[in-house]
Every structure is written in structure tokens, then in C-alpha cells.
Amino acid sequence: MLSRVASSIYWLNRYIERAENYARFMEVNLNLSLDLPRGTTEQWEPLVATTGDHERFTGRYGKATRETVIQFLLADATNSNSILSCLLAARENARTVREVISTEMWEQVNRFYLMVRDGVSKGLSSKTLHTFLTDVKANSHLFLGITDATMSHGEGWHFARLGRLLERADKTSRILDVKYFMLLPTVAEVGTPFDIIQWSALLKSASALEMYCKQHGRISPNTVAEFLILNPNFPRAIRYCLIKAEDSLHAIVGSESDRHSNLAEKRLGRLRSEMDYADMADILSAGLHEFFDDFQLKLNRTDDAIYETFFALRPVEGNMQKEKVQ
């Protein structure tokens, strides 16, 4: 597969997944805001902080309010990570690989883009916002389903899955961070009904409430965090994402699962095994936020390694001169 094509498929899927997760960010915050006690002001600034685009936001909007943050994360074409920008980028990437992906995949990306573009241009009120965010998630799921059902599960598909799962692992860590920023739980508040409501809102936003309840029943902060970080079977849990991403990486390279033959495999393998051997007590004692910072840094390095290993167009040692003399 062409390096450029592999890169486009990878990024196509990262952007779709990113758009979906930005919808989840907003949803979790909207849900949390609805449950805030009277008199408390809504907290939108933390949401921007978790995306890592804090400086850009402040430069452009100044104060973080519901309107400005939603505009920035959803509709701002100058924010390269807004949902609108993600869809534009996803579609541009899809256009460059139309001959590799199925017609159905292309048409879904196109419809998804048109839906977001039209939604943004019509303007979103608090009434329509929920439906819009739900539609973003549904369209992302539809794309994922169409990909699985219409694309050969070969190299291209594995690059797609690799991109999607690394993006998802990163964003799940950030959704958990929203809660962390939202309200540093004082010891007194932990376990209060209000705290429980917030954690279940968060589970909902990760589409994890039912699966969590099946496994744990009772909602407690530690088990929720554990579920979303360390569960090997829940598809939005960080560990699950890393396990499957690593499977895809091995499938691309053609290497055995316990070996590494390049930097990408080495870094991803190491990160995955850290998750295998981590437990919540360690994570909490180091601090949840610090844990996520460290995780996101390592994930970025893995992404760098993937770029270097598969996508970078290095100059090739050719020998035109010699050829001409002969």
C-alpha cells in the first residue's frame, strides 16, 4: 500500500473518531451542567483545557462560555480540531483514497460532512444541539460499521483501525480528565449522590453506562475510572484500544504478537503492557491527571513512530548518474 494512502486512511479514521469524541466532550459537559446545583456557574473552560487548544481559544474568544466553547469546538473552521474541521479533513483524506475505500464509505463520509456543514450553517440552539451531537455520534458509528462491512480486512483496514483506536484511547483519557477538571472532588463529596450523578453522566457520554453496570453494578469513582482505563473488553476503554491497535500494527507489519521489528511496535507494545500491569491504586496514588498527562505524551510518541515507520516520504538512494554513464 502506498505510504501516502496508508497515511490518509489512518487520518481519515482519526478525524472521524475525533469528531465523535468532541461530540462526547460537549455532551458530558452539557449533562453535567444540567445537574449542577442552583447558583453554581457552568464550567466550560476545563473543556477547552482538555482538548489542548486552550491558548488558541483564549486568543480568539477570551472568556469561556457555553456559546463560545461550543462555537470553538463545533463550528470554528479556524480551529483545526473542531467537529467541522475534522469532517472537512476527513473528507479531504477520503477523497485522496477514494479508489481504495468502498463507495459506501465515501458516501457516508460525504453525507456526514454535509450533515455537519448544514447543521453549523443553520446555527445550533440548545434545543437542537443535543440532537446534533447524537447525530454526530451515530454518523461516526455508521462509518465504522460500513468500514467493517464493506472494506477488506487487509492492510488498509488495519491502518484505519489503528488510527481510530489510538485517537479513541487519547480522547477517552481526556473525557475522564473533563470530570477531573470539572470538580476536584473533596473527600467530603466523594460518594455523595451528586458525585454519583456526575460519574454516571460521564459513563453515559462514553456510551459505557450499561456495560459498566452489568459488570460493577454500583457506581463508584474508582471503579468507573478503572473501567474506562483498564478494562480489556470494553471498546472505548483505553486498554482495549491499545490491545486492538497493537493487533492491527502487528498485522500490518506481519510480525508475531510478542516481538517488535520497528519503533512503532516497540512504543505501542510498551504502552500496552504498562496498562496490562497497572492497577488503580498505583494510578490514583500518582494522581489521575498526572497519569493521563504521561499517557498522552507516550501516545503522541507512538504516533510519531508510526509516522516515521510508515508514512514519511524519505529521499531514496537512487543512482541516476551511474545509469547514465553505462
Q: Pick from 33, 43, 65, 96: which binds other proteins (CB under 8 A)?
A: 96
Q: Is there binding between residue 99 and other proteins (CB under 8 A)?
A: yes
Dump strand ranges (E) for 140-292. none
Locate 47 and state its grid cell: 473543556
Q: Pick from 155, 177, 265, 303: which binds other proteins (CB under 8 A)?
A: 155
**Hunting for cell 455520534 — which residue is that?**
137
CB atoms under 10 Å from CB of 53, counted, come to 18
Total residues in contact with other proteins, by rule CB under 8 A: 34
CB of 86 to other proteins, least distance (A): 13
CA 120/CA 126 separation, integer angstroms: 13
Q: Is there binding between residue 30 and other proteins (CB under 8 A)?
A: no
Q: Is there binding between residue 33 and other proteins (CB under 8 A)?
A: no
Q: Pick from 63, 111, 122, 141: which binds other proteins (CB under 8 A)?
A: 111
CB of 317 to other proteins, least distance (A): 8
Q: Is there binding between residue 124 and other proteins (CB under 8 A)?
A: no
Q: For residues 212-271, which are near other proteins according to CB under 8 A?
A: 252
172 contacts: CB under 8 Å, gap ≥ 6: 21, 206, 228, 229, 236, 237, 238, 241
Q: Is there binding between residue 153 and other proteins (CB under 8 A)?
A: no
CA 164/CA 230 separation, integer angstroms: 18
CA 119/CA 124 separation, integer angstroms: 7
Q: Is there binding between residue 11 and other proteins (CB under 8 A)?
A: no
Q: Is there binding between residue 31 and other proteins (CB under 8 A)?
A: no
CA 66/CA 45 separation, integer angstroms: 9
CB of 14 to other proteins, least distance (A): 17
Q: Is there binding between residue 324 and other proteins (CB under 8 A)?
A: yes
Locate 46 and state its grid cell: 476545563
CA 86/CA 92 separation, integer angstroms: 10
**Hunting for cell 467493517 — which residue is that?**
148
Residues in the site for other proteins, rule: CB under 8 A? 1-6, 88, 91-92, 95-96, 98-100, 103, 106-107, 110-111, 114, 117, 155, 252, 310-311, 313, 316-320, 322-324
